[in-house]
Amino acid sequence: MPTQSPVTVLGLGLMGSALAAALLKAGHATTVWNRTAAKTGPLAAQGATPAVTAKDAIEAAPLVIVCLTTNDNVRALLEPEATALKGRTVVNLTNGSPAQARELADWAAAHGITYIDGGIMAVPQMIATPGAYILYSGRDEAAFATHRETLSALADTKWVGTDPGLAALYDLSLLTGMYGMVMGVSQAYALIGSEGIPAREFAPLLTDFIVAMTHGLVPGGAEALDSGRHLTDVSNLAMNRQAFANFTSAFNEQGLRTDLFDPLQDLLDRAVEQGHGADGLSRLALLLKKD
């Protein structure tokens, strides 16, 4: 029998289902709702209570976790249920932008609803396993503290501030780093594969190299940015700009597109032309500002 505080989960895609299953495993009385009712079946078999309507689900618990495809979907779902949500805490774990999180927080506050935004740094299979964590932010840190033990059933919890948009900002910033890595890895596999070398053979070398470079580049770049000291004696921008032609030449010679790397060449060119040739790669982050 459930012994922990009751929770409602709205949205049962892959991630929402994983969240609900983790809550059930931790002993929480869990009410679930999904627009497609059939998706409640597997969780009902695990002990969840399916709700016929979103309103019924909301009224079943003081903590309502929402995990939908977009924040537009979240707004469309919650707005008609403002009365039922009044006095409850909504934790929105839907991926979105900082501005969207702040807009939802404003709407919630106007209707007496406590709003906490979250960013899940895990795939569904990682929920409730070591290494998974969720970022949270919102204007009512006390509400987060109240529900922190419940939320810890999902993953490690990281509170990042009282600006509702901060969880989304951290989330997208982390994912930006990941997607940058994906682009580099994709280009690397394409280049090595252009001569028929198996990706499996190349993967250990690529993994070790990326890990080694990350250990220096990430904390070193952070120190340079926060201190404002970008000069380097390792690999400056002028050197990188000169060497970069080798990459685009090789891509072209091997019959590969250069789409992923062309913007970096433009950025290196601009950095040197603006007099930053002696600086390290950390300078590039500043050149991305529109002003």
pLDDT in tens, 213-242: 999 899 999 999 999 999 998 899 999 999
Bridge partners (DSSP) of residue 65 are 9, 91
- Secondary structure element (H or E) that encloses residue 140, with its range: none
pLDDT at position 234 = 87
CA distance 204 to 212: 12
185 located within any domain: no
173 located within any domain: no
pLDDT at position 291 = 73
pLDDT at position 3 = 59
Contact criterion met (CB below 8 Å) for 91 and 66: yes
CB within 8 Å of 25: residues ≥ 6 apart: 128, 153
Which residue, 162, 186, 215, sits at the end of a domain?
Answer: 162
Same-domain check for residues 89 and 217: no
Question: What is the CA 91 to chain-centroid distance, rounded?
Answer: 15
Q: What are the pLDDT digits (tens) for 168-199?
A: 999 999 999 999 999 999 999 999 999 999 99
Instruction: Identify the domain containing residue 67 by its residue range.
Output: 4-162
CATH classification at residue 225: 1.10.1040.10
178 located within any domain: no
pLDDT at 31 over 60: yes
Same-domain check for residues 47 and 139: yes
213 located within any domain: yes
pLDDT at position 77 = 97
* Whole-number average pLDDT of the chain: 96
pLDDT at 1 over 70: no
- Give percent above pLDDT 70 in the chain: 99
Same-domain check for residues 132 and 210: no
pLDDT at position 2 = 53
Same-domain check for residues 122 and 232: no
Contact criterion met (CB below 8 Å) for 155 and 122: yes
pLDDT at position 275 = 97
Q: Cα–Cα distances in Å, from 3 out to 22, 23, 61, 78, 157?
A: 14, 11, 14, 28, 21
248-262 mean pLDDT: 96
CA distance 214 to 182: 14
Q: How many domains does the chain have?
A: 2
Q: What are the pLDDT digits (tens) for 128-176?
A: 999 999 999 999 999 999 999 999 999 999 999 999 999 999 999 999 9
Q: What residue type is assigned to position 146 of the chain?
A: T
Same-domain check for residues 45 and 89: yes
CATH classification at residue 86: 3.40.50.720
Q: What are the pLDDT digits (tens) for 36-46?
A: 999 999 999 99
Q: What are the pLDDT digits (tens) for 46-95?
A: 999 999 999 999 999 999 999 999 999 999 999 999 999 999 999 999 99
Count CA within 13 A, CB hemisphere, residue 261.
22
5-28 mean pLDDT: 97
